[in-house]
Amino acid sequence: MEIELYSLLSTVIVFVFLFTVIFAIYCYIAFRVRQRASLRHSSINSPAPTALALEEPKFFKPLYPKQLK
């Protein structure tokens, strides 16, 4: 009886896991398809990168300064 209960629980959990994994892979593929379509679209309409670069503030950045303490 105890083993049957375990088997039943195991079956339910394994099926939920299986469903979740397949569903996650499906969502991932769907996302990649949307990304690809979006990238194709943006390559035509995106502004020139040099125009954006002019607007970026530049901060002085030393290469990882020495420990402060």
35 binds another protein (CB under 8 A): yes
Tokens 């339910």, residue located = 12
Tokens 């530049």, residue located = 58
For 38, 61, 62, the CA distances from 66, given in Å and listed in that order, are: 43, 13, 10
34 binds another protein (CB under 8 A): yes
| Closer by beta carbon to another protein, 1 or else 47 | 47
| Tokens found for residue 46 | 């995106």
Size of the site for another protein (CB under 8 A): 42
Among 44, 45, 50, 59, binds another protein (CB under 8 A): 59
33 binds another protein (CB under 8 A): no
